Structure 1
Amino acid sequence: MRPIDLNLIRTFVTLYESGSVTLAAHKLNVTQPSVSYSLSRLRELFDDPLFSRTRDGMAPTFCATQLYASFRHALTQIEHTIGDHQHFDPRHSQRRFRLALTDLGETTLLPVILQRIQTLAPYVELEVVPLEIEKINAWFDNKSVDAVVCSRDIMTPSLGKRVILEERYVCLLNAQHPRIEKTLDMNTFTHEHHIVVSPSSGHGLAEDVLKKHDISRKVSVVVPHFSALPRILENSELLTILPEQIARIFTREAALQICELPFDVPNVEVALYWPRHADDSSAQEWFRQTLIEAIAPEHDTQGPSGEI
């Protein structure tokens, strides 16, 4: 098989992500005919049209969609390897970082993270990956994710860890709940119906406390994301447990109220995790430090490797 020009792979990935020959040429700093010529070579190589012109841009074929996942991963690996052996200049870098967050993290943390990155590194790309706790070690092993922010304690020696903030859990419910006003006792808590966010979201400490103390309640529905809660709670008499920071955001979006839980739940530590093999990368170090400065600037008295 003939060797494949890596520039063709970069052109393919850029065209797939931009959906436009014009935009791809601009991002690659080449002419449009150059992109079209590369696309012709790729079509010949894979014996597939790969993209078709539509009113909304260049639509990928099934073959192109299959190729993209492998090509994007390979290209990211190459870029990371090169970047790890070069001085990282955030002002000019076009590197893409991948960060795993819960939907709660997307709501509360992502805005300040983006603001910080765009201020320091206007050309850097950030891809947010929905957090799946059981996949974290595999993600780091294959270098498909650069960092994770979550509240679950991940006990893996190969990972670096830095606690970046603390949260506490509260109960959130309809502001006009017919049986609850400002306080919530244990009897009411256990007899009311609840909506629960799946433990795979990364927030399960309150659920662990309930099991430990054998506190049972009536669960009516389980949802995978926190973002579903405001409208459901506003239009029902359900209760839910969630971190206070997101609860306060939800009270500004819907007619909801916060009540203290009728049992003790320890404060939860939200931590940044990263693979230790990335400790010697200037790009990775910059990314971790930027996340810390964005999320918890008042606590940034040590480097990102300050806690193990």
Structure 2
Amino acid sequence: MLNIMHPALRRIDLNLLPVFDAVYRHRSVRIAAEELIMSTSALSHALSRLRTALNDPLFFREGHRMCPSVYATQLAPAIASALTFLNQQLIPQPDFSPAVATDCLQIAITDFTAFCVFPALMHKVQPLAPGIRFELRYLPHSPALTELLAGEVDLALGFNVLNETEHPDLDEITWQRDEYVVISNVNRARLTLEDYLAASHVVVTPWNETQGVLDIELERMGHTRQVAIKTPSMLSAPFIIEHSDMLMAIPRSAAERLARSAHLKIFPLPFDAPPFDVKIYSHKRSGHRGVTHWLKQQLQAIAGKM
């Protein structure tokens, strides 16, 4: 395919173009060789190869000067421009420096991940990287696969939902593992499985899913729970629980935080269920590779202290 698209480039060693440019600018093999840190014989040999490739003498010696041919004069502006452009574009990416970074990161969240992750994250990140900005986005599905692959978001903070599958272009790490507990109003004295099944429930469905992990576990046991309210937001639910006889199953870390704002009682989940895993998803070819890698390191450091 390259032969078809760039036939001229296939015939020329592109390393010869800086030689042409240096000789044209300095009109001297010696000065050009010094600039390119080459011997004069090596530069003369390179110039000879370029003359053969382009089928033109390119330069004529007149006294101590190398005078360009008509063809060389025509080529010179284009070669100089191309070398300048490539030199600017092919600069290696600098190492990420949080203190001077000004990146703006698009992060897909639920209100749970924003509530449980971002207070601790901002406390840690702001003193280290005051110029970094975040735009948090609620998305209608998990794990924001389409948006991550399209580069519309840089990270996704999500949790294990049904039918999640690994994707070869995504990095996935478990940020935190938690257990489910049940919150109720303060009047409840106990919570058995029978009590749990007899009660009405508030269920958070951030992606409008019809069935959650706990429903699957209950179904395996031959039970179903009575869902009175489905809501995409976790933050209003505890206040509904506080003023009703309904129950709500949520991760322990969230329950303990919410119990500081609402009058709630926390009970162990009265049946076995898989752990609640908060995950961090990122694209392996992210355009913000340095900052996303650094941010994941900060998130993992926070998780280690929680």
**TM-score category, normalised to shorter length:** 0.5 to 0.7
Name stretches of at least 5 consecutive residues in structure 1 with no aligned partner. 1-80, 300-308
The answer to whether the 8 Å contact 1:131/1:201 transfers is no
Do the aligned partners of residues 146 and 280 (structure 1) sit closer, same or farther apart at CA in structure 2, a change above 3 Å counting?
closer
The answer to whether the 8 Å contact 1:147/1:288 transfers is no
Asked if 1:191 is matched to 2:201, the reply is no
What's 1:159 paired with? 170
What's 1:236 paired with? 244
Output the CA distance in 2 between the equivalents of 1:141 and 1:223: 28
Output the CA distance in 1 between the equivalents of 2:142 and 2:290: 28
Taking the TM superposition and a 5 Å limit, the aligned residue runs for 1:8-47 are none
Output the CA distance in 2 between the equivalents of 1:254 and 1:196: 18
CA offset digits 1:46-67 (Å, max 9, x no partner): xxxxxxxxxxxxxxxxxxxxxx
Amino acid corresponding to residue 105 of structure 2 in structure 1 = F
Taking the TM superposition and a 5 Å limit, the aligned residue runs for 1:41-120 are 85-120=93-128
The answer to whether the 8 Å contact 1:169/1:206 transfers is no
Output the CA distance in 1 between the equivalents of 2:303 and 2:235: 23
What's 2:36 paired with? none
Output the CA distance in 2 between the equivalents of 1:222 and 1:137: 24
What's 1:200 paired with? 207
Output the CA distance in 1 between the equivalents of 2:231 and 2:92: 40
Amino acid corresponding to residue 216 of structure 2 in structure 1 = D
> Per the alignment, in what secondary structure is the counterpart of residue 137 of structure 2?
strand
Number of matched pairs: 214
Output the CA distance in 2 between the equivalents of 1:111 and 1:141: 27
What's 2:57 paired with? none
Do the aligned partners of residues 216 and 101 (structure 1) sit closer, same or farther apart at CA in structure 2, a change above 3 Å counting?
same
Amino acid corresponding to residue 155 of structure 1 in structure 2 = E
Output the CA distance in 2 between the equivalents of 1:267 and 1:83: 46
The answer to whether the 8 Å contact 2:184/2:266 transfers is yes
CA offset digits 1:193-229 (Å, max 9, x no partner): 1111115289943233223333212211111111011
What's 1:71 paired with? none
Output the CA distance in 2 between the equivalents of 1:280 and 1:107: 24
The answer to whether the 8 Å contact 1:102/1:201 transfers is no
Aligned pair partner of 1:169 in 157, 180, 199: 180
Amino acid corresponding to residue 166 of structure 1 in structure 2 = R
What's 1:303 paired with? none
What's 2:35 paired with? none
What's 1:61 paired with? none
CA offset digits 1:72-125 (Å, max 9, x no partner): xxxxxxxxx999933322211211012222211111111111112201111110
Aligned-residue offset at 1:275: 0.9
The answer to whether the 8 Å contact 1:84/1:280 transfers is no
Aligned pair partner of 1:144 in 143, 149, 152: 152
Output the CA distance in 2 between the equivalents of 1:159 and 1:135: 10
Aligned pair partner of 2:273 in 238, 242, 265: 265
Output the CA distance in 2 between the equivalents of 1:138 and 1:212: 32
Do the aligned partners of residues 262 and 83 (structure 1) sit closer, same or farther apart at CA in structure 2, a change above 3 Å counting?
farther
Aligned-residue offset at 1:248: 1.0
